[in-house]
Amino acid sequence: MTELKSVLERLYGLIPKGKGVGVDAVRAACDRLGNPEKAFEVAHVAGTNGKGSVCAFVESILRTSGKKTGLYTSPHLTRFAERIQIDGEPIGDEKLVEHLTRVMDEAPELTFFETATVTAFLAFQDAGVDIAVLETGMGGRLDATNVVPPPRVVAITRIAFDHVVELGDSLGAIAAEKAGIIKKGSKVVLGKLHPEAREVIEKAADACGAEIVELGSPEPVPGAQIAYPRLAMFGSNLAVAVTVARELDIEPEVIATGIENAVWPARNELLHRNGQELTLLDCAHNPDGAVALSHVLDPSLLGEIESRREVALVFGTLATKNWRSMLDRLEHVIGHRVYVKPSVPKAVEPSVMAEAVPGETADTVADALARARSLVGPRGVVVVCGSIFLAGEARAQLLGVSPDPPVDL
């Protein structure tokens, strides 16, 4: 057994502890480890959807500007190391083993996500990053990432219904949790929010002396086209990223280049096989994300596709998600459905989904991809969504990558 495999098994052994509630344990662990969370500046990003995409754009822009960057996101798509990136690359195995081991030895009380978060802080401190872009895991106020000092910029992308048990059953309640990352002196960039959510966040910013910045144009250089594949799919998220970059004093031309160089797999990602087969991978896992995905599934963005009969959906999700609403949002753009279970606990049985919304079922992700392809032929499009875990499994299958086990944390 390799050292990395052994350390990851030890880390995965923390999963039964759950997600953890509150930041006290993380703050105490950071104190014992010399406060690595204070060794770098921070751009902190929360939101129901789009926060990962914003993080990826902002990190790429910062790196293009000459900054040494850290990027912390979750969950991982195929390998755990993807969660902790330095200068655009996943942390190396040797450093990952070193920092994970130190955290688990010195703070054994932490949960899986808390351990991963503190490990990221140690890795960023060790690498001497100038600024880290941090994605909250869930919510914000009680999230493990929220032990950092006041960020230079806080971004809240979108507020929609997700994780309602943990965050609340109204947009205002969810917004209040997301707004918990706002701190005194920070600039705050907000995406296009429902008035109820925006009012709550504005009050939170005012209460702690933070400044809300007007959301600017998604065009870094007005009128200049950006050479980024499928750029139209990112909508207001791109405007948030560009506005964040402006608040970090980055020049428009550098922002444009950073966007063009950004990589964020399985978020409206088109994979090509055999010269003509198209598979669209997207991590949409709630109705809001499904609406965004539906807007891009049309002939003008998918090339020669003429009708929804040439689009097949591979769909799998968790029982905690509003999967019926997701399927409803996609109904008018999908011609075929193949249901399959992601390899994580609490996944919905394919037969249950097929009974509610007619479609076929498959035993494995590989089988689902093959069946979907057979339904639309080599020139059709296979769309994979419903869960980041499903998107990760499908991507690994299509690219021949050996993945680490997925974790819903």
Assign 204 a pLDDT band (cuts: 50, 70, 90).
Answer: very high
Q: Quick one: pLDDT at residue 275? A: 64
How many CB atoms neighbour CB 241 within 10 A? Answer: 33
Which residue type does 276 have? Q
Check if the beta carbon of residue 293 is closer than 8 Å to that of residue 334.
no
Q: Output the CA angle 147-149-155, nearest 5 degrees.
A: 85
Q: CA 259, CA 280: separation in Å to the nearest integer?
A: 20
The domain defined by 3-261 folds into: UDP-N-acetylmuramoyl-L-alanine:D-glutamate ligase (3.40.1190)
Average pLDDT score over the chain? 90
CA distances from 148 to 33, 117, 273 (A): 14, 11, 43
Chosen CATH of 269-399 out of 1.10.530.10, 3.40.50.1360, 3.90.190.20, 3.40.50.1820: 3.90.190.20
Query: Span 297-315, mean pLDDT?
Result: 74
Domain boundaries, the chain: 3-261, 269-399
Q: CA 57, CA 245: separation in Å to the nearest integer?
A: 9
With 80 as the cut, is the pLDDT of residue 179 above it?
yes
Q: Quick one: pLDDT at residue 228? A: 59
Which residue shows structure tokens 């880290």?
Answer: 132
Query: Span 56-75, mean pLDDT?
Result: 97
Check if the beta carbon of residue 379 is closer than 8 Å to that of residue 350.
no
Query: 316: closest CA among 336, 290, 338?
Result: 338
DSSP string, 152-212: SEEEE----S-SHHHH-SSHHHHHHHHGGG--TT-EEEE-S--HHHHHHHHHHHHHTT-EE
> What does pTM read for this prediction?
0.90
With 90 as the cut, is the pLDDT of residue 172 above it?
no
How many CB atoms neighbour CB 401 within 10 A? Answer: 12
Q: Quick one: pLDDT at residue 167? A: 56
Lowest-confidence segment of 76-90, 222-236, 379-393 by average pLDDT:
222-236
DSSP string, 275-288: TTEEEEE----SHH
Which residue shows structure tokens 């399927």?
Answer: 327
Query: Span 145-154, mean pLDDT?
Result: 97
Write the pLDDT tens digit of every residue in 320-332: 889 999 999 999 8
Angle between the N-to-C axes of helices 51-64 and 252-261, in degrees from 0 to 180, rounded to the nearest 10: 120
Residue 144 DSSP symbol: G
Check if the beta carbon of residue 178 is closer than 8 Å to that of residue 156.
yes
With 60 as the cut, is the pLDDT of residue 162 above it?
no
Q: Quick one: pLDDT at residue 95? A: 97
Q: CA 329, CA 346: separation in Å to the nearest integer?
A: 22
Q: Quick one: pLDDT at residue 68? A: 98
Q: Quick one: pLDDT at residue 299? A: 55
Q: CA 242, CA 263: separation in Å to the nearest integer?
A: 16
Q: Quick one: pLDDT at residue 249? A: 96
Taking the CA atoms of 196, 197, 200 and 201 in sequence, report the sign of the dihedral they define: negative
With 50 as the cut, is the pLDDT of residue 100 above it?
yes
With 50 as the cut, is the pLDDT of residue 164 above it?
no
Check if the beta carbon of residue 111 is closer than 8 Å to that of residue 18.
yes
More confident residue, 225 or 334: 334
Taking the CA atoms of 31, 32, 34 and 36 in sequence, report the sign of the dihedral they define: negative
Q: CA 153, CA 137: separation in Å to the nearest integer?
A: 18
Q: CA 30, CA 167: separation in Å to the nearest integer?
A: 25
Question: One fold for both 3-261 and 269-399?
Answer: no
Query: 237: closest CA among 292, 182, 162, 183?
Result: 292
Q: Output the CA angle 12-14-15, nearest 5 degrees.
A: 75
With 60 as the cut, is the pLDDT of residue 168 above it?
no
With 50 as the cut, is the pLDDT of residue 232 above it?
no
Q: Quick one: pLDDT at residue 308? A: 78
Q: Quick one: pLDDT at residue 210? A: 95
Q: CA 376, CA 349: separation in Å to the nearest integer?
A: 24
Residue 404 DSSP symbol: P
Write the pLDDT tens digit of every residue in 209-229: 999 999 998 888 887 777 655
Q: Quick one: pLDDT at residue 174? A: 86
Percent of the chain whose predicted confidence (pLDDT) is above 70: 92
Query: 123: closest CA among 175, 56, 71?
Result: 71
